[in-house]
Amino acid sequence: MHRKIIPIVVLLSLYMAPVALAANFPDVPDTHKNAKAIQSLKDAGTVSGYGDGTFKPDKEISRAEAAAIILKAAGISAQKTAVKLPFSDVPEEAWFLPIIQKGVSLGKLKGYEDKTFRPNATVNLPESIAMALSFFEIATKKL
């Protein structure tokens, strides 16, 4: 049961806007409606904010960021490998390259028919649900 709750919490956190307690992220007040949820994800090591110490609570989450959060929540580590990706829009120097490589090598991440991954595109709800269900290996019934 616990294994099925984790992806739900991750998905809700993606759509409740990333936030945290002011003591941890200077750009988020502790009165924010999602502070407790993000604090829990931060405490679990699932989210860490940006390199400048901020969390950007009103920023939409990209496909690459969503994949990173879901990988961390699933306990899957990613290191850069020699694996060549089929996507034309994932540069070798990108911070998310190891994440995309790992997701593809596990058969969990898929791109688009035009051979792109669109890592900087805003993740939509169906995409984030599909990613989470895939990484947490939750079977769904066909409708």
Residue pLDDT, tens place only, 15-53: 444 433 334 778 778 888 777 777 777 788 888 888 898
Please say if the pLDDT value at position 126 is more than 80: yes
How many whole angstroms separate alpha carbon 128 and alpha carbon 63? 8
Q: How far is CA 1 from CA 4, 22, 32, 102, 117, in A?
A: 5, 32, 29, 26, 32
Sequence letter at residue 81: T
Handedness of CA 130, 3, 21, 72 (dihedral sign): negative
The verdict on pTM exceeding 0.85 is no
With 70 as the cut, is the pLDDT of residue 142 above it?
no
Tokens of 64: 């690459």
Contacts of 87-90 with CB under 8 Å at 24 or more apart are 87/111, 87/115, 87/116, 87/117, 88/115, 88/116, 89/116, 89/117, 89/118, 89/119, 90/117, 90/119
pLDDT in tens, 45-104: 888 888 898 888 778 999 999 999 999 999 999 988 888 899 999 999 999 999 999 999
> Which residues are bridge partners to 62 per DSSP?
122
